[in-house]
A and B are shown apart, each in its own frame.
Chain A
């Protein structure tokens, strides 16, 4: 066994053993030395380039594939049972036990074989791809991928994939640059530049001699899984040069926008980084599946108990009866009936019982479940409603084993960008030198208006902007407005992909008239230069130019610069080419900027910078990044318009824009020189140190910045998101948004997609609020140490959590500190009691009024204690206003200084009353928690806080986590999944690589097949094209799947238990000797033929309500969350039914076929086989007809298979009985001769069916009349609606 495991592991390891280092010649490879362009392969012992993803070879197939099958414990059990059936004492013939097992195993093996053959076919195709290979004499010849060896020199053409990991030697592109697409590796669609070492540029394949003479020695690290690191040294022409990731071309990526490249094979086959990286996703099992295991154990315990009982009884009886039963010849040598050795008889009886009652553990269930799940998945894949025409993508199902999980989701963790929003970034607003530009309404604003809560003073109207000189603009504004009456944000002639900006002051070159035109120009220059986008297209056609950028918002900024007349059209490693056309009439002017260094963007740094020399000789550092990061690094003296920019960006954030601060710094020539040298050195370091060193140097130069302005890019909501979120929330699903955005942005997006709703209390825990800033300020004043600051912040977070917890639990916060809060609470409490007094007469409205008062109290207290005394800016806006801008600076808050007084609450009470009379009772108070990443970091670090956090979250309907890192996303998901245990089920949905951790950590991961590549979709268990499909995936498919799987498992247990009980009953009458009173073939066909198909049909097709009804009543989904369809109570209930049914099925025929009276006019009495066949007839009838009682949805397919199953029994017994006697033995002509001609046989069948089903029918009638389930009411409603329509 151990041997096989080892073999298996090694085999697996060669496919996907990530990161462990690969075994070469029996030892781990730390580094390798490669002799470039030396086709002397005998020297090296590295693996070939042939890859195999096959799991099996022809000789290892059977054992290994069987091993895979037998990883399921149930199979061991079944095999053990089959083994027992070989024993001479076995109650069933061995073949009738083995056949089903062999069938299942062969099915599994066939599937494995089929998959492996397909894998082999894929491998063959890959291995046989052609590649141009240098033969050592200056000629390139065609070779197959699989024949490549380490050190070979190959040529790859534009658009082709790299056959292995290559060291870039030269490129036909300028300066040894080539572009690669890494879609298959990391899902990113942007092009990445790779550049050869300068010394090897010359070996370009044109000069045969150079090619022939090219030799070099590459010393590099051994194969590993890290895609983004590579370090080595190239010994070439007596020089030793460092090589790194820019020189490495990875297998599975392709060459783009470059004629061809030459490369040296570095890692081959399974050593390549992409192969080393292909870790299988973590296997997840559904909650139902895990529960099923427990049920199986229960069944097993039951089985053991029954078998033990059997063994004990037969042992004792044999002992007692002794030699009395002479017809058993007890005195002869007879091992199975020997009164002298009753213990042996008992043990044999025990094993006998195990086989006899073995039906309790259903082998067919596993096969059926798999079939059903695949069918369910096919339904999801082929659902038109989940097809996204925009991207031409269907839903995908990767883990059909998790289908039913979709029907039980409690909590959704959602990414924001690309998931809730479409990740189609449009440049929307900007602030330059403290002046905000850009008109038009964002979706968030529109949503807010629709909900009746305008966002207040908006940056879209620049007039009240105090920084703006009023004398001149007034007239200009008017003039422009007159001129361009027809133009406007809604009718924007400049609109294009990535650009949805409208402001007549800037567009069409008008910006030069602005006061700070120089700054504006500089701002645009920065936008045009400070990025890593690669232009694609011909420079002469600006409108067709596409930018391949790391993120869509970066592209949007470049597009914006183009629109403003700074057209970036060409990038080389050292230069940036911008075509300036400042005025429409002027001829465009090409400017070349010297690009010196790029300090790249990372989620950690949250900023990027470049150093660049302008055409006029200025040496500048240009930066853009998140405001928090950039503002920390501004020059105190020359900070630029920090205050205005911050304010504008905050407002941008509120209306749902993604913001960046744009800043610069003039570099000192000398300082830069020394820095540049150190930076170059740092970049040439091989190893881990390099990263930290470059990071340090970046930090060093990115100081003392001057802010120029900021940008606001709109990330549009995906279609249907607010509706979907709203319905999911009404379905009782808590939705958490985990986003890297600012608190304000997140809150407002939250409102836009109805994640935060009217009447919801927002609990905000943030270290960015003014209260938290007070800590920092105090720390600054008093000179606290870093630890003390952290301590203070932690205490702050923990206090906030405490408050929030009390609020969600008790509806108010215990008074602490300020006297105002005490007063307010008492007000709200008295109000609450007053309300309930007035409402207690009208019960239906009581709830609402309670809500209203609780809302009031909650909002009020939250307002007082959580966000520390903020006030409503405008009483007429009511409490929404209070909730909307809890973190806005004091100046934004309205005039009503004292907040709401009792009189106003009385008004809201009245409105609540009037509402309550009309509308249906509302839901209980809802809370939303908003928390930022920094606070989260403190929470995640401490168990106490984790628990408190969880408790708050459980009681909140929505949770927004802002400014979280990908790691935190995964951590939060894990925390919730683990912390809430089995009773909560988490689903994570996201679209980007940063969501992969979260998707894998959640119970169910859903990937969006979005713009940011396929990585999330690949990691997810399901993938959909749009967020709104999640609604259908959960509320329709998930609910159905959960229902189907649950019903199916329950019914399966009912069915197999009947068989088990009946085996036990018959044993009671047969001295517990283990002799079934029916033919063993009947029994083995029972689960596989007579009763198997209808339940599979139900598992595939059953519905309770239609999708339309499911959407109309999302609350129906809650039954899945509560696990109402599959739980211990239901299992017991079905076991009870099976017990009763089996009793009726066994004893009713027994009364007629007892052999104590004739069952036919011919005087014949029944023998065991006659009883067995009659009993089996009803045993087939009852469970099949029970379907009509237990389920509520029947299509013609249901009817067909139910009746075919019943028919199959009659057919079987006729055919079996017609076989020659040597086959059919005692069942010979059983049906035609014995049963069918007897009236009692036919009278028995309806009787047993009625007697068996009657109690169940009564129970269900009572339930349906007096305790109807939710879906029944819904069906009744639509039915009565239909009826009334018919009448009209």
Chain B
């Protein structure tokens, strides 16, 4: 490439020369600040006092931000409980008191077993509505390349899936020569536990708490990415697992074939792939304030098999603040960075006062230092 540039330049220069010879003008280059590389420039100098100033200024700016952010995060109330083990433990028998993962898995795969369980939680702090309900899965690799690719963006938008898409959707691509809608393993493995909440509080009718499951997905997703004219295809709706899949594994929801994909917000949320193997997904929203002393009773349909791959399932109730959920990271980080800056600033100040370096001291020049060093190192030998 370097020689190529040379060719180019050579040509350019030759051409220029010929032209100038013809025009008989002087070849003196024109003066511009740019071509003489004399543009005015700022050359920031890190002088000790400027360093101290910069650090302390940064520190002073960071600390208040940190305090405010941390406060917002601290104000969030979050209730979390893991239910996967509890919900199967009641089926433990005397002969098998501690269920193994295999046993749990086996249990889950048995269609004839009822899998619902009930869990109660006490609200200890006032929770202002809206209160968000999440389910959290652990050790679940939604971000596995194989899994991520196993869907068809085109299909969701109402277009016929491409060949590549269908190939990626395998083995969940076709059944009986008909394309599955939505195809692929992402949709097929849709989380299908359900939660019903009841409460002892007086302000609810019949003790049940209404969980709003609409508008839990991004507006653009449900309005544009997921088409409202596409309905789950029959194959998927009558999801007879014994026929479609070997019944050795279970999970994945039935889709309502009378409801277009854009209406199935659970699916939309699920299909927005999580970044990490442990993740939460929005399940619904309670639009009532909860007061301390309230007991919430969750009736869980524990359908989703996380036992086979040593995963976990949890249910979370959380309020939000202006920065979101309970996450002290931002606040603490700001405080740490700010604190560190102030500390460093003072260290520099101290060091500068104690041992200042005069600006532009020539004895720091490497060649001066070197000659002094040789003088010092050689003088003892001649003594």
Question: Chain A's nearest CB lies how many Å from the CB of B131?
Answer: 9
Interface contact A1279-B45, CB-CB below 8 Å: yes
Contact with A1275, one of B7, B31, B43 (Cβ below 8 angstroms):
B43
Interface residues of B in 293-327 (CB under 8 A from A): 305, 308-310, 318, 320-327
Interface string of A323-344 (1 = CB under 8 A from B): 1111111011110110000000
Asked whether any CB of chain A lies closer than 8 Å to the CB of B352, the reply is yes
Interface contact B378-A850, CB-CB below 8 Å: yes
A374 in contact with B324 given A920-B368, A1155-B280, A1240-B330 (CB within 8 Å) = no
| B35, B170, B185, B325: most-surrounded residue (chain A CB, <10 A) | B325
Interface contact A89-B379, CB-CB below 8 Å: no
Interface-facing stretch out of B21-29, B89-97, B259-267: B21-29
Asked whether any CB of chain B lies closer than 8 Å to the CB of A1169, the reply is yes
Interface contact A400-B5, CB-CB below 8 Å: yes
- Least CB separation from A1078: chain B residue: B275
Asked whether any CB of chain B lies closer than 8 Å to the CB of A1161, the reply is yes
Q: Chain B contacts of A1225 at CB under 8 A?
A: 153, 225
Q: Chain A contacts of B82 at CB under 8 A?
A: none
Interface string of B1-20 (1 = CB under 8 A from A): 11111111111010100000
Q: Chain B contacts of A321 at CB under 8 A?
A: 309
Interface residues of B in 236-276 (CB under 8 A from A): 245-246, 248-251, 272-276
Interface contact A1154-B276, CB-CB below 8 Å: yes
Interface contact B361-A1273, CB-CB below 8 Å: yes
Interface contact A1265-B48, CB-CB below 8 Å: yes
Interface-facing stretch out of B117-125, B200-208, B336-344: B336-344
| A328, A839, A1151: most-surrounded residue (chain B CB, <10 A) | A328
Question: Chain B's nearest CB lies how many Å from the CB of A574?
Answer: 38
Question: Chain A's nearest CB lies how many Å from the CB of B357?
Answer: 6
- Least CB separation from B66: chain A residue: A1247
A373 in contact with B365 given A324-B309, A328-B146, A1228-B220 (CB within 8 Å) = no
Asked whether any CB of chain A lies closer than 8 Å to the CB of B359, the reply is yes
Interface residues of A in 115-146 (CB under 8 A from B): 115, 118
Q: Chain A contacts of B248 at CB under 8 A?
A: 323, 326, 331
Interface contact B327-A326, CB-CB below 8 Å: no
Asked whether any CB of chain B lies closer than 8 Å to the CB of A1258, the reply is yes
- Least CB separation from B249: chain A residue: A326
Asked whether any CB of chain A lies closer than 8 Å to the CB of B112, the reply is no
Interface string of A1147-1190 (1 = CB under 8 A from B): 01011111111111111111111111000000000000000000
Contact with B3, one of A378, A401, A1069 (Cβ below 8 angstroms):
A401
Question: Chain B's nearest CB lies how many Å from the CB of A1016?
Answer: 16
Interface contact B275-A1075, CB-CB below 8 Å: no
Question: Chain A's nearest CB lies how many Å from the CB of B161?
Answer: 12
- Least CB separation from A1159: chain B residue: B324
Interface contact B334-A1247, CB-CB below 8 Å: yes
Interface contact B368-A921, CB-CB below 8 Å: yes
Q: Chain A contacts of B51 at CB under 8 A?
A: 1261, 1264-1265
Contact with B29, one of A383, A399, A1195 (Cβ below 8 angstroms):
A383
A1163 in contact with B282 given A924-B371, A1243-B69 (CB within 8 Å) = yes
Interface contact A111-B8, CB-CB below 8 Å: yes
Q: Chain A contacts of B321 at CB under 8 A?
A: 1161
Interface residues of B in 135-183 (CB under 8 A from A): 136, 140-141, 143-148, 153-154, 157, 159, 164, 167, 170-172
Interface string of B29-44 (1 = CB under 8 A from A): 1110001110111111
Q: Chain B contacts of A1197 at CB under 8 A?
A: 39
Q: Chain B contacts of A1070 at CB under 8 A?
A: 141, 143-145
Q: Chain A contacts of B324 at CB under 8 A?
A: 1152, 1157-1161, 1163, 1238, 1240
A1071 in contact with B132 given A370-B4, A1161-B322, A1240-B323 (CB within 8 Å) = no
| B13, B40, B324: most-surrounded residue (chain A CB, <10 A) | B324
A1164 in contact with B327 given A366-B1, A1265-B46, A1277-B360 (CB within 8 Å) = no
Contact with B274, one of A844, A1040, A1155, A1198 (Cβ below 8 angstroms):
A1155
Q: Chain B contacts of A329 at CB under 8 A?
A: 171-172, 185, 245
Q: Chain A contacts of B249 at CB under 8 A?
A: 326-327
- Least CB separation from B361: chain A residue: A1273
Interface-facing stretch out of A386-394, A600-608, A685-693, A798-806: A386-394
Contact with A1276, one of B144, B359, B383 (Cβ below 8 angstroms):
B359
A111 in contact with B352 given A389-B28, A1115-B365, A1222-B157 (CB within 8 Å) = no
Contact with B43, one of A1193, A1258, A1266 (Cβ below 8 angstroms):
A1193
Contact with B2, one of A401, A1152, A1194, A1243 (Cβ below 8 angstroms):
A401
Interface contact B224-A1221, CB-CB below 8 Å: yes
Contact with B371, one of A285, A832, A923 (Cβ below 8 angstroms):
A923
Asked whether any CB of chain A lies closer than 8 Å to the CB of B198, the reply is no
Asked whether any CB of chain A lies closer than 8 Å to the CB of B62, the reply is yes
Asked whether any CB of chain B lies closer than 8 Å to the CB of A429, the reply is no
15 contacts between A and B (CB under 8 A): A326-B309, A397-B6, A401-B6, A402-B2, A846-B375, A923-B371, A1115-B367, A1155-B278, A1156-B280, A1164-B282, A1168-B275, A1192-B43, A1233-B218, A1240-B330, A1264-B46
Knowing that A283-B3, A1193-B43 are A-B contacts, what are 10 other residue pairs whose CB atoms are under 8 Å apart, sorted by A's residue number? A328-B144, A352-B145, A387-B28, A833-B382, A843-B372, A846-B376, A1148-B333, A1165-B279, A1197-B39, A1265-B46
